[in-house]
Amino acid sequence: MEKGRLEAFSDGVFAVAITLLALDLAVPGPGHDSLAHQLRMHWPSFAAYVVSFFVIGIMWVNHHALFKSFATVDRMLSFLNLTLLLFIVAVPFGTSTVAAYLRDGGSDAHLAAALYAAIFECCALSFAAIFAWSIRGEGRRTTPLPPGTERSALLRFASGGLVYLVAIAVAFVNAAAAVGAIAAVAVFYMFEQTPAA
Amino acid sequence: MEKGRLEAFSDGVFAVAITLLALDLAVPGPGHDSLAHQLRMHWPSFAAYVVSFFVIGIMWVNHHALFKSFATVDRMLSFLNLTLLLFIVAVPFGTSTVAAYLRDGGSDAHLAAALYAAIFECCALSFAAIFAWSIRGEGRRTTPLPPGTERSALLRFASGGLVYLVAIAVAFVNAAAAVGAIAAVAVFYMFEQTPAA
Amino acid sequence: MEKGRLEAFSDGVFAVAITLLALDLAVPGPGHDSLAHQLRMHWPSFAAYVVSFFVIGIMWVNHHALFKSFATVDRMLSFLNLTLLLFIVAVPFGTSTVAAYLRDGGSDAHLAAALYAAIFECCALSFAAIFAWSIRGEGRRTTPLPPGTERSALLRFASGGLVYLVAIAVAFVNAAAAVGAIAAVAVFYMFEQTPAA
Amino acid sequence: MEKGRLEAFSDGVFAVAITLLALDLAVPGPGHDSLAHQLRMHWPSFAAYVVSFFVIGIMWVNHHALFKSFATVDRMLSFLNLTLLLFIVAVPFGTSTVAAYLRDGGSDAHLAAALYAAIFECCALSFAAIFAWSIRGEGRRTTPLPPGTERSALLRFASGGLVYLVAIAVAFVNAAAAVGAIAAVAVFYMFEQTPAA
C-alpha cells in the first residue's frame, strides 16, 4: 500500500471533521432574544470551537510529522490510523455536547467535559499506538530513531495522554477548567519547538 | 482518463461519507434526561458508528488495493466506481436508521437492520463488478492474475457478498445479531493477511 | 497558477456536494408510520438521489476530461470554474426540494422540478463557457482542436444545455417526467463512447 | 514539513466550507406558503450564498498564489494558516446568520451584517499575517520580493482589510449595503489583473 493515498484520505477526514465543528456555531436566530444576547449566551460554543479547531489542527500537524518518518504502510498501520480517525471524527460531537452543557450551566457539564477530554485521550492513545508500531518492526521508519531518543519520544507521547487524563479528572471538579486545560495544551504544542518524534 | 484523479475523487467521497457518520452521535442535550442516561440510551448509535466506520475504512483499503492493480481507466470503470460510491455514501443513512430503530426497540428494527446489511451487500456487489471488469479485458491490469488465482479471487469477492446476504436474513430474526455479524466480518477483514485481489 | 491545485479543489467540492445528497435519504424514523411505509413514501428522495448522484458524477468525469486538455489556467478560468462549482454545490438543494414536492404530490412539484432542471441548465452553461474560454485564446489547449471539430464540439455542449431547457418546459406539464428526462440524459452520457471535447 | 500536504489540507477545508454554504439554501418546503413565495422570501439566502461562495473562492485563489511563493513551511506558518482556516470555516455561520436576519427585516440585521463583515476582516488580517511572515525571515520565499514592491504589497493587503472594516461600519447604517459592499470587493478582485503578492 502506498503512504500517499493513506495520507490523502486522512487529510480529507481531518479537513471534514474540522469543518463540521462550525455547524455548532449557529445561533437560534430571529424570533428569539436579541442577536447580541444570543451571541453572548453562545460563548461556550465559540470557545469550544476555537479549542477543538486548534487541537484537531495540531493533531493534523503531528499526523503529518509522524507519517513523514514512515518508510512503509501495512494493514496494522491502516487499522491503527482508522482508529485514530474514529476519534478525530468524534471531536465535533464532544465539542457540541460540552458547549451545550456549559451554556446550560447544570451539573451535567462535568460529565460533558469529561467526555470531551476522553475523546482527546483516545486520540492521544491512538497516536501512541501508531508511534509504538513504527519502532517495533524493522524498516518501518525511513531512519531509525537515534538510541536514547526512543525513550524520550515515548515519554513525550505519554505526557500528552497524561494531560488529557488530568483534564478528565478536573472535569468532575470544574468543567470550564477542563476545557481551559485542553486549550493550554494546544497553546503549548503550538509554540513548542522540538520536532515531533 | 487518469487513474490518479479518479482515486482522489473516490478518496474524497470516502472521507466525507465516513465523517458524516458522526452526525448521528449527537444526543438530545440539556433539558432532557441526565447526560449519563442519554449516553447509555444512545449506545446503538455509538456501536453502529464504530461498525460503519470500520466497514467503510476497510472498503477504502480494498478500493485502494484494487485500483493499484489497474493499468487503465475507462468510462465503464468510472460508472462502476460511481455505483460503488452511491452505496458508500448511503451508509450513514443506513447507520442512523438502524441505530434509531435499535434504540426504539420495536419490531421495525428487523427491517432497519436488513436495510443496513443490504447497503453493504450492494457495496460488495459493486466491488465484485469492478473486479470482474478488471479481468474481462486485455491490459486492464498492470500484471495479469496468475492462472488459477482468478477463480479464488472471484470466490473471495463472492464470499464477502454472501456474508451480507446472510446478515440480511439474520436481521429478520434478530436485528442486533445482524449488526454484530457485520462487525465480525469487519474484524475478520482487518486481521486477514492475504493481499486483496 | 497551477492546474493541479485547481483540479484538486474542484474534486473536493464535487466530492462533498455528491456526498451531501445523502442527507436527504433520512426517513422520519421511530414514532411515525411503519418503516416499510416510510421507505415506500420516500421513493422520490431515493430516485432523486440516484439521478443527482449520477449527473454530478458525469459532470465530474466531464470536468476531468475538459481540464485535461487545458495547457494553462488564468484568473478568468478560475472564475468560470467557480461559477460552475456554485451550481454543482446547489444540486443537493434542488434535489431535496424536488423530492419533497414529489412526495407531497401538490401542484408545486412543477416549479420544484423546473428549479431542479434549471440548476443543471446553469451547470451546462458554465461548462459551455469554460469550453468557449479554451478555444478563444492562443495556447489555452495542449493541442488545438482539429479544424471542423470545434463546431461539432460546441454543438455537443449546446445540445446538453438544450435537453435541460426542454426538461424545464416539461416540468410544468409533468414534474416526474422532467426528472425522468434528466435521468435519461445521464444514462445516455454514461454509455456514449465519443471522447469529451 | 512539506508544503504540498499543508496545501492539500487547506484545499480540503476550503472545499468543505464552500460546500456547506449550500445547506442554507433549503426552503421550508411543502405545507407552508407556495414554493414560488418561499423562493422569493428566501432571496437573502440566495444572495448571501453567491457572495460568500465567490469570496471564499477568491480567498482560495489568493491562498494558492501566496503559498506558491513560499519556499518553506514552519510551525508558525502552520499556526497562522490554521487561524486563517478557523475564520474561513466560520463563513457559512456568518452567511446563514446575516441571511436569516435580512429575511426577518428587523433591526438585528445590522449586527448580523457587521458579524458577517467581521469574519471576512479576520480572514483578511490572517492573510496579512501570513504575508508578513513570508517577508520577515531569510529564505521563506522562493524569490525575494523586488525592493519597493514589499511596501505596495503590504498596502494591497491592508486595503483589503480596510474595505471589510468599512463594511462593518456600513452595516450599522444599512445591513444590505454592507453585504453589497462585500460583493463589490469580490467582483473587483475577480477582474483585477495584478498578480497576487
Tell me: pLDDT of D72 over 90: no
Closest CA to B95 of C63, C22, C190: C22
Q: Which of A27-31, A107-111, A142-146 has the lowest mean pLDDT?
A: A142-146
Within a domain: residue B197? no
- Chain C nearest-CA distance from B3, in A, is 11
Give how many domains chain C has, as a whole number.
Answer: 1
**C11-61 pLDDT tens trace:** 999 999 999 999 999 999 998 899 999 999 999 999 999 999 999 999 998
- Chain A nearest-CA distance from D152, in A, is 31
D41 touches chain A (CB under 8 A): no
C183 touches chain B (CB under 8 A): no
- Rounded CA separation C70/C49 (Å): 32
- The answer to whether D170 and D102 have CB atoms below 8 angstroms apart is no
At C2 the three-state DSSP class reads: coil
- Rounded CA separation C64/C76 (Å): 18
**CB-CB neighbors (< 8 A) of D108 in chain A:** 30, 34-36
Tell me: pLDDT of A94 over 70: yes
Within a domain: residue A197? no
Q: Neighbouring chains of D at 3+ CB pairs within 8 Å?
A: A, C
**B130-157 pLDDT tens trace:** 988 888 877 788 877 777 777 777 777 7
Query: Which DSSP state fits A4?
Result: H
- Judged by CB atoms closer than 8 Å, whether chains meet at D17 and A12 is answered as no
Reported as half-sphere exposure (CB side, CA atoms, 13 A), residue C139 has a value of 3
Average the pLDDT over C163-183 and give the result. 94
* CA nearest to C34 within chain B: B108
* Residue among A82, A96, A111 whose CB faces B35 most closely: A111
Range of the domain at D53: 3-191
Tell me: pLDDT of C189 over 50: yes
- Judged by CB atoms closer than 8 Å, whether chains meet at A34 and D78 is answered as no
Residue B197 banded pLDDT, cuts 50, 70, 90:
very low
Tell me: pLDDT of D197 over 60: no
A60 touches chain D (CB under 8 A): yes
**D169-190 pLDDT tens trace:** 999 999 999 999 999 988 887 7
- Judged by CB atoms closer than 8 Å, whether chains meet at A106 and B22 is answered as no
Which set of grid coordinates corresponds to residue C85?
462549482
Q: Which of C55-64, C137-146, C166-175 has the lowest mean pLDDT?
A: C137-146
Within a domain: residue C124? yes
Within a domain: residue B124? yes
D84 touches chain A (CB under 8 A): no
Residue A148, sorted as left (phi over 0), alpha (psi -120 to 50) or beta, turns out to be left
More confident residue, A188 or D83: D83
D23 touches chain C (CB under 8 A): yes
Q: What is the pLDDT of residue B97?
A: 96
- Rounded CA separation B134/B73 (Å): 10
Q: Is the ipTM of this complex over 0.85?
A: yes
**D6-62 pLDDT tens trace:** 888 999 999 999 999 999 999 999 988 999 999 999 999 999 999 999 999 999 988
More confident residue, B176 or A143: B176
- Judged by CB atoms closer than 8 Å, whether chains meet at C86 and D50 is answered as yes
**CB-CB neighbors (< 8 A) of A61 in chain D:** 1, 75, 78
Percent of chain B with pLDDT over 70: 96
**B34-78 pLDDT tens trace:** 999 999 999 999 999 999 999 999 999 889 888 988 988 888 898
User: Which residues, 6 or more positions from C112, have their beta carbon under 8 angstroms from its beta carbon?
Assistant: C97, C98, C100, C101, C102, C175, D35
C3 touches chain B (CB under 8 A): no
**B85-111 pLDDT tens trace:** 999 999 999 999 999 999 998 899 999
* CA nearest to A46 within chain D: D90
Q: Which of A111-125, B10-24, D142-156 has the lowest mean pLDDT?
A: D142-156
Within a domain: residue B196? no
Q: What is the pLDDT of residue A136?
A: 82
- Judged by CB atoms closer than 8 Å, whether chains meet at C27 and B111 is answered as no
Residue A187 banded pLDDT, cuts 50, 70, 90:
confident
Q: At what angle do helices A43-68 and A175-191 cross, to 10 degrees?
A: 40
Give Cα separations from B141 to A6, B66, B135, D115 (angstroms). 22, 10, 7, 55
**CB-CB neighbors (< 8 A) of D68 in chain C:** 1-2
- Judged by CB atoms closer than 8 Å, whether chains meet at A11 and D12 is answered as yes
- Chain C nearest-CA distance from B129, in A, is 16
Q: What is the pLDDT of residue A81?
A: 95
Within a domain: residue D112? yes
Q: Which of A95-99, B114-118, C85-89, C186-190 has the lowest mean pLDDT?
A: C186-190
- Judged by CB atoms closer than 8 Å, whether chains meet at A93 and B22 is answered as yes
Tell me: pLDDT of D153 over 80: no
Query: What is this structure's pTM?
Result: 0.92
Within a domain: residue B94? yes
At C114 the three-state DSSP class reads: helix
Q: What is the pLDDT of residue C12?
A: 93
Residue D196 banded pLDDT, cuts 50, 70, 90:
very low
User: Which residues, 6 or more positions from D105, have their beta carbon under 8 angstroms from its beta carbon?
Assistant: none
Helix ranges (H only) for chain B are 3-20, 35-41, 43-68, 75-104, 109-136, 149-171, 175-191
Tell me: pLDDT of C100 over 70: yes
Element containing residue D181 per DSSP (H, E): helix D175-191
Q: What is the pLDDT of residue A197?
A: 39
Q: In one letter, which amino acid is C133?
A: W
- The answer to whether C82 and B22 have CB atoms below 8 angstroms apart is no
C183 touches chain D (CB under 8 A): no
Residue C99 banded pLDDT, cuts 50, 70, 90:
very high
Tell me: pLDDT of A69 over 90: no
- Chain A nearest-CA distance from D109, in A, is 9
Within a domain: residue A196? no
Residue A65 banded pLDDT, cuts 50, 70, 90:
confident
Reported as half-sphere exposure (CB side, CA atoms, 13 A), residue A90 has a value of 24
Tell me: pLDDT of B124 over 70: yes
